[in-house]
Amino acid sequence: MGLIVQKFGGTSVGSIERILNVTERIREETVRGNQVVVVVSAMGKTTDQLVGMAKELSPQPNKREMDMLLSTGEQVTIALLSMALNAKGLPAVSFTGWQAGIETEPVHGNARISNIKTESIREQLDAGKVVIVAGFQGITEDGEITTLGRGGSDTTAVALAAALKADKCDIYTDVTGVYTTDPRYIKDARKLLSVSYDEMLELANLGAGVLHPRAVEFAKNYEVRLEVRSSIEKTEGTVIEGEASMEQNLVVRGVAFEDEITRVTVLGLTNSLTSLSTIFTTLARNHINVDIIIQSTTEAGTANLSFSIHTNDWLETLNVLEENKELLGYEQLDAENKLAKVSIVGSGMISNPGVAAQMFEVLASHNIPIKMVSTSEIKVSAVVEEKHMLSAVEALHKAFELGNQ
């Protein structure tokens, strides 16, 4: 008997019909003799609807109350799925994140899992039940409900698989696996049979919505066997593993993209040595994630600093910087919205110089100006205007021959 963790996203449980389809996927594993833990997201666009209602009341809703609100979405799904399984003669029990023993740090809106107490889950598994767990949520030591950030159900599933020492974790979604880019936007995107943990981590961090970055981190750190597969089609998915097989020696494995990027520029820093650390320490203390960073000096001896953030954090970032203006010692703030980030990823880039140059040549040939650049051993990212995002992705996907294998 094995232990399988299955995760079903919002699209996969978006209707009663789809919930019934999920029960069949669960039943298939129980017929094989496996114990099953299922993690689910809120149905369809429920989370977006809840966020929309909150923002009608306040442009910056209280983070604690947002967690109270958003955690209700998954509770609907776990109860309905448990009912469906019991009606089909498969004993099942539903758990919220806190009932499942998922403990988090005391951060509202984007908490990290700190510990999982698995006793309650194991007790129900030993009693012959399928355990349905609400993704995306947990509880602090003080009893406060927290959420893990968008896509956090992936993290819940992989963290549970690690804590329970599961044989496998299957992430079911509305696509059949991990593609060279998003097939909803680029028609000749191709499914990859395997991707390394490192490549998947870069793709996830850079906007590929198929997996949450923290989930990939957990999988890599605890060597969780992970597969991304379709909840509708019964086909092989994409295996995430330590070292992916190089498919026909592809240097670039995928093109990721992300919209709603804002560039913040801090002008006239009088002491760049201390200001840099103070700025980013202050932003980190307020749980604002900074991505690409560029610094330049002026003839007057001051420094200018630009960095990219998600547009959702734009107002809070400006507020934090303005509140600490005297401490940080700058003259002026500037921000540019409606930007996007386009990235190429591939472990083969380590031993193949000139990939970045080729990327910039492709963008230049399509008259796409680059605002900011960031690189690592296996990725190159460029910030461009949002209106150019998809044309940049299509041009890069074609130039690196990702759809012609």
In tens, the pLDDT along 241-278 reads 887 655 556 789 999 999 999 999 999 998 767 778 88
The per-residue pLDDT of the chain, averaged, comes to: 93
Nearest to 102 by CA among 150, 172, 157: 157
For residue 158, name the pLDDT band (cuts at 50, 70, 90): very high
Tokens in use for 204? 């996830």
pLDDT at 272: 64
CATH of domain 3-174: 3.40.1160.10
- d(CA 289, CA 110) in angstroms, rounded, equals 11
Span 291-302, average pLDDT: 87
66-97: pLDDT as tens digits: 999 999 999 999 999 999 999 999 999 999 99
Q: Could you tell me how far CA 27 lies from the centroid of its own chain?
A: 28
pLDDT at 405: 57
Domain boundaries along the sequence of the chain: 3-174
Neighbours of 113 (CB within 10 A): 23
Contact 335, 265 (CB under 8 A): yes
Span 28-33, average pLDDT: 96
Nearest to 374 by CA among 390, 353, 359: 359
How far apart, in Å, are the Cα atoms of 4 and each of 23, 25, 127, 153? 14, 12, 16, 16
Give the sign of the dihedral formed by CA 244, CA 206, CA 114, CA 68: negative
pLDDT at 389: 97
Tokens in use for 191? 């499914």
pLDDT at 246: 52
pLDDT at 359: 97
- d(CA 385, CA 371) in angstroms, rounded, equals 8
pLDDT at 274: 75
Contact 41, 10 (CB under 8 A): yes
- d(CA 180, CA 112) in angstroms, rounded, equals 29
